[in-house]
């Protein structure tokens, strides 16, 4: 059902999971970063996300996931807002 145009694919009969999210909303106030960095992905919790004022608030050491799930690319170039 997810890939109707590929009925003969070798994994066409495999189980897939579809995750649907609601509409995206702006977080006010936004979570800021003291350092300029691009963030690819941060594994965090909803409570931590809602309470965060700064990016490092999402990266607490006591997190069960810890830092391995975080990919950060620090750069010196300026970003467009």
Neighbouring CB atoms inside 10 A of 42's CB total: 19
In this prediction the pTM is: 0.48
Per DSSP, the three-state class of 10 is coil
Answer yes or no: is pLDDT of 23 > 90. yes
For the chain, domain boundaries: 24-81
- The predicted pLDDT at position 68 comes to 46
- The predicted pLDDT at position 30 comes to 92
- The predicted pLDDT at position 37 comes to 76
Give per-residue pLDDT as tens, 29-77: 999 888 877 788 887 888 888 888 988 888 765 545 444 444 444 444 4
Determine contact, residues 57/15, Cβ cutoff 8 Å.
Answer: no
């Amino acid at each position: 059902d997810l890939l109707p145009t590929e009925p003969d694919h070798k994994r066409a009969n495999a189980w897939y999971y579809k995750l649907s999210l609601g509409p995206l909303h702006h977080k006010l106030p936004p979570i800021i970063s003291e350092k300029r960095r691009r963030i690819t992905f941060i594994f965090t919790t909803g409570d931590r996300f809602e309470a965060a004022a700064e990016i490092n608030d999402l990266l607490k050491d006591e997190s069960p996931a810890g830092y391995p799930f975080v990919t950060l690319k620090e750069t010196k170039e300026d970003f467009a807002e």
